């Protein structure tokens, strides 16, 4: 897996933080050292690694504890924030717009993965509805045209090229004009990268830039370079305002953290990462997501996806009824069962970044037990009661208690739980209706009091 080395050492740091009884100065010191070590192992620059470790320590020792969270949660969050900072803070979109032919120029040293990435990007964009044309403007390497042409055929994207034309700029311009006439929205120009060092690469990039006026120039950097990526990325960042970076080959290297943090340090935004040789092995670069994955804090997107999947399981009538504000005890039961089906509440919670460690086991235990108890109680209830057609008054409560062998208190706890779930569901439904299907919201999870999820 990508960043597995960094992930392994950092998640063991996190486990250490979770496991110990007290969070004291000694533990924070240890945490600092472990973070420093893990970053160095990922080939992050010494000064950067040191600064991150220092900041984690300083902040952990001096920041006041915000209300409602534990010291542990606070420190996890500090680690998360500091790592996200060196990894680039936020995702950046490509500079492409509807209503114009967008020109993207790919540059980079030979072997960095330009041609592969050009095809991957074409695939990614055409999947997202853009009409893409590729220009094979590498006039240097024999077979460069065929390489791109084959890739283009695989993904159904047209490639313009001319193996006889030796002037790269002329060729690139012809290709660009050809695709503009074809009304393509995105034209990606793959160039030669015969240079072994930055200065000549930058010189050629400037020339191409002047002649072709691209909307975006993408520097393709080989991730196996680790922190040595800094030289290329910084020369590039200085030379162009419209530049961004794609770091490739992160699947096969332990130095990915170094390559990423080095690029980020130059101020050039990383937009995608290459994570394999196959055409689909390109990911939007999202530092927050990456860092939660590295830290073993789980993946919020995955969680939302699972929640969505589970919601599809709900029958249509049921969903409609709930939309109208009708949420019965049976619905609550269904929902709790769904949560269990998704792999247990514990797994679900472990996918919420920063959440897994904060909740203690007794809480999880309690909710599982209450699910069992609710089932027993409901088995002694009539259909009318389960469908919410009658109010469950005191005499009914007493009858149910006798029938199921639980106390009146248990029944009231369940009813209270039901009222809370109903409120949460209503709020959630209102929000997701407003946001449209697939709205990014986590529904209240029955079994937890409101406020259990900060
Ligand atoms: N494992 C892995 N290999 C990659 C990745 N991107 C490119 N490559 C490989 O790197 C080599 C050089 O790629 P190429 O696109 O020809 O580089 P170019 O000279 O810059 O155009 C090829 O063997 C690719 O399969 C990646 O993300 N992961
Ligand atoms: Mg190439």
Which residue from 106, 189, 277, 282 has its CB within 8 A of the most atoms of ligand 1, so it is best to mutate?
A: 277
Residue 235 and residue 200: Cα distance in Å, rounded? 11
Q: What is residue 194's predicted lDDT score, i.e. its pLDDT? A: 66
Domain with CATH 3.40.50.300 in the chain: 102-295
Share of the chain residues as helix, strand and coil, in percent rounded to the nearest 5:
60, 10, 30
Q: What is residue 100's predicted lDDT score, i.e. its pLDDT? A: 95
Residue 9 and residue 143: Cα distance in Å, rounded? 42
Instruction: Please calculate the CA angle 217-102-290 and round it to the nearest 5 degrees.
Output: 55
Protein residue whose Cα sits closest to atom 22 of ligand 1: 113
Beta strands in 306-451 (DSSP E): none
The side-by-side arrangement of strands in the sheet containing 186-191 is 158-160, 132-137, 186-191, 102-107, 216-222, 243-248, 270-274, 282-284
Q: For domain 102-295, give its CATH number from 3.20.20.70, 3.40.50.280, 3.40.50.300, 3.40.50.740.
A: 3.40.50.300
Domain with CATH 1.20.120.140 in the chain: 4-87
Domain with CATH 1.10.260.30 in the chain: 300-435
Check the CA dihedral 168-171-175-176 and report its sign: positive
Q: What is residue 303's predicted lDDT score, i.e. its pLDDT? A: 45
Residue 10 and residue 20: Cα distance in Å, rounded? 16
Residue 137 and residue 381: Cα distance in Å, rounded? 75
Task: Output the CATH code of domain 4-87.
Answer: 1.20.120.140
Q: What is residue 338's predicted lDDT score, i.e. its pLDDT? A: 64
Q: φ and ψ at 191, to 5 degrees?
A: -115, 175
Interhelix angle 361-379/329-341, rounded to 10 degrees, is 140
153 near 122, Cβ under 8 Å?
A: no
What count of other Cβ atoms lies within 10 Å of the Cβ of residue 254? 16
Kindly state the tokens that stand for 247: 């770091």
Q: What is residue 437's predicted lDDT score, i.e. its pLDDT? A: 40
pLDDT along the chain (454 residues), means of 10: 75 72 85 92 95 96 80 82 92 94 94 96 94 94 92 97 91 96 97 76 86 95 95 89 93 91 94 94 89 68 47 56 73 70 52 44 55 85 89 92 88 85 69 46 35 34
Residue 445 and residue 215: Cα distance in Å, rounded? 46
Which residue from 105, 113, 196 has its CB within 8 A of the most atoms of ligand 1, so it is best to mutate?
A: 113
Q: What is residue 21's predicted lDDT score, i.e. its pLDDT? A: 65
> Residues near 305 by Cβ (< 8 Å), separated by ≥ 6?
none
Q: What is residue 342's predicted lDDT score, i.e. its pLDDT? A: 52
Residue 105 and residue 118: Cα distance in Å, rounded? 9
Give residue 163 CA to ligand 2 midpoint distance, Å. 14
Instruction: Please calculate the CA angle 309-315-318 and round it to the nearest 5 degrees.
Output: 120
- Asked if residue 252 has its Cβ within 6 Å of ligand 1, the reply is yes
Q: φ and ψ at 298, to 5 degrees?
A: 85, 180
Q: What is residue 445's predicted lDDT score, i.e. its pLDDT? A: 36
- Say which CATH topology domain 300-435 has: 434 Repressor (Amino-terminal Domain) (1.10.260)
Give residue 273 CA to ligand 2 midpoint distance, Å. 17
Q: Around 200, how many Cα atoms within 13 Å sit in the side-chain half-sphere?
A: 8
């Amino acid at each position: 897996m990508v960043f597995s080395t960094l992930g392994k050492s950092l998640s063991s740091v996190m486990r250490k933080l979770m496991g110990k009884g007290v969070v004291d100065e000694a533990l924070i010191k240890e945490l600092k050292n472990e973070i420093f070590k893990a970053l160095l192992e990922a080939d992050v620059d010494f000064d950067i690694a040191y600064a991150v470790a220092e900041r984690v320590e300083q902040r952990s020792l001096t920041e006041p504890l915000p209300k409602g969270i534990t010291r542990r949660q606070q420190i996890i969050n500090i680690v998360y924030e500091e790592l996200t900072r060196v990894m680039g803070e936020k995702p950046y979109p490509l500079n492409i717009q509807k209503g114009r032919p967008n020109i993207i120029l790919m540059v980079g040293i030979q072997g960095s993965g330009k041609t592969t990435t050009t095809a991957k990007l074409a695939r990614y964009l055409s999947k997202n509805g853009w009409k893409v044309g590729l220009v094979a403007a590498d006039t240097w390497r024999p077979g460069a045209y065929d390489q791109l042409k084959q890739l283009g055929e695989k993904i159904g994207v047209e490639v313009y090229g001319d193996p006889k034309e030796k002037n790269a700029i002329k060729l690139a311009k012809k290709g660009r004009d050809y695709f503009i006439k074809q009304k393509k929205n995105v034209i990606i120009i793959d160039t030669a990268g015969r240079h072994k060092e930055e200065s000549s690469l930058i010189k050629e990039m400037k020339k191409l830039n002047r002649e072709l006026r691209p909307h975006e120039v993408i520097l393709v950097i080989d991730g196996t370079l680790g922190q040595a990526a800094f030289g290329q990325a910084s020369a590039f960042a200085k030379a162009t305002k419209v530049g961004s970076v794609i770091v490739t080959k992160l699947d096969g290297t332990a130095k990915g953290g170094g390559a990423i943090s080095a690029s980020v340090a130059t101020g050039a935004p990383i937009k995608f990462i290459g994570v394999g040789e196959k055409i689909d092995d390109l990911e939007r670069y999202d530092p927050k997501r990456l860092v939660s994955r590295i830290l073993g804090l789980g993946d919020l997107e995955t969680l939302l996806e699972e929640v969505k999947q589970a919601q599809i399981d709900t029958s249509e009538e049921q969903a409609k009824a709930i939309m109208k504000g009708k949420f019965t005890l049976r619905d609550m039961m269904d929902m709790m069962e769904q949560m269990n089906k998704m792999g247990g509440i514990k797994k679900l919670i472990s996918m919420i970044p920063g959440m897994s460690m904060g909740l203690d086991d007794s809480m999880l235990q309690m909710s599982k037990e209450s699910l069992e108890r609710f089932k027993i109680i409901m088995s002694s209830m009539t259909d009318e009661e389960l469908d919410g057609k009658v109010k469950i008054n005191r005499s009914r409560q007493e009858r149910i208690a006798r029938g199921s062998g639980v106390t009146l208190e248990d029944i009231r706890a369940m009813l209270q739980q039901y009222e809370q779930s109903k409120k949460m569901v209503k709020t959630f439904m209102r929000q997701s209706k407003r946001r449209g299907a697939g709205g990014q919201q986590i529904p209240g999870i029955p079994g937890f009091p409101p406020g259990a999820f900060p």
